[in-house]
């Protein structure tokens, strides 16, 4: 589904990502790991249109993503979360999740204003879908609370719900386990495996090793913007270069 070929991202004289190549298949959970500053979030931003690669190719279902805006890429079926939390703090949890359906259930402004039956039906379906996603994440009882009043970990779950609700075919999650309790991380892992089992591809950037090793089909380890290792969790866990650069450090 996602094909990254020889992608390089430079900021002036700094090369943040160097000659990176990988593919993500349908229904696969693909994780990028690495020390802070390894280039993981920069790679995410380049794929989703927030940063323009200096070299290389990025394609989704055979169509190039280069020179496309983040909105255009989202409209193609790719949704993402952000490392620094993109929650809409002044809105309720339910309203935050409904915002994820903006591109998925388009309808004319005036049909909504005039109360057209089709618009009302779409609104009911959107609310039902959003509440179902919140239930899958174990936070259904928070639907009517102000998102800004939640803990950081709870806000991360709301942001993940917003990414999941739009029926995207590729979901990119930037450190989704930050701030989550061990129990919440376990619940998140179950949800991710369930999502992937339904044919949706997931790309993770994550530091929490127990979650990564439990859910990932393949792992790519970045170091100084370059691919240090790629493979199944057991192989990556035992890789000497990975142990020295990352996994062996606390």
pLDDT digits (tens, 9 = 90+) for 2-41: 999 999 999 988 999 999 999 999 999 999 998 888 899 9
Q: Which residue has the tokens 């790679």?
A: 43
Q: What angle do CA 18, 19, 21 make, to 5 degrees?
A: 125
- Taking all residues of the chain, what is their mean pLDDT, rounded to a whole number? 85
Q: How far is CA 158 from the centre of its chain?
A: 13
Query: Above 70 in pLDDT, residue 45?
Result: yes
Token pair in block for residue 243: 């142990």
Q: Running DSSP on this structure, what letter comes out for residue 246? A: I
- All CATH 3.40.50.300 domain ranges in the chain, comma separated: 1-77+168-250
The maximal CA–CA distance of the chain, rounded, in angstroms, is: 64
How, if at all, do strands 63-64 and 55-60 pair? antiparallel
pLDDT at 119: 63
Sign of CA dihedral 153, 155, 157, 160: negative
Query: Above 90 in pLDDT, residue 231?
Result: yes
What percent of the chain lies above the pLDDT cut of 70? Answer: 90
pLDDT at 110: 37
Yes or no: say if 225 and 18 are a contact pair by the CB < 8 Å rule: yes
The β-bridge partners of 146 are 92
CATH superfamily of 1-77+168-250: P-loop containing nucleotide triphosphate hydrolases (3.40.50.300)
CB atoms under 10 Å from CB of 236, counted, come to 24
């Amino acid at each position: 589904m996602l094909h990254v070929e020889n992608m390089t991202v430079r900021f002036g004289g700094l090369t943040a990502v160097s000659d990176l190549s990988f593919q993500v298949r349908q229904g696969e959970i693909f994780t990028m790991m690495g020390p802070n500053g390894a280039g993981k979030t920069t790679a995410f931003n380049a794929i989703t249109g927030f940063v323009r690669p200096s070299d290389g190719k990025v394609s989704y279902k055979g169509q190039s993503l280069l020179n496309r805006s983040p909105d255009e890429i989202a409209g193609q079926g790719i949704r993402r979360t952000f490392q620094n939390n993109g929650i809409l703090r002044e809105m309720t949890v339910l309203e935050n999740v409904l915002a994820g359906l903006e591109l998925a259930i388009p309808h004319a402004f005036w049909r909504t204003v005039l109360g057209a039956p089709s618009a009302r039906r779409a609104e009911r379906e959107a609310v039902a879908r959003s509440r179902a996603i919140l239930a899958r994440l174990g936070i259904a009882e928070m639907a009517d609370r102000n998102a800004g009043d939640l803990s950081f970990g709870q806000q991360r779950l709301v942001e993940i719900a917003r990414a999941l609700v739009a029926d995207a075919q590729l979901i990119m999650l930037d450190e989704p386990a930050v701030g989550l309790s061990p129990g919440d991380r376990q619940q998140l892992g179950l949800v991710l495996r369930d999502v992937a089992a339904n044919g949706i591809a997931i790309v993770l950037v994550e530091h929490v090793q127990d979650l990564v090793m439990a859910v990932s089909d393949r792992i790519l380890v970045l170091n100084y913007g370059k691919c240090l290792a790629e493979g199944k969790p057991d192989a990556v866990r035992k890789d000497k270069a990975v142990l020295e650069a990352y996994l062996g450090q606390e």
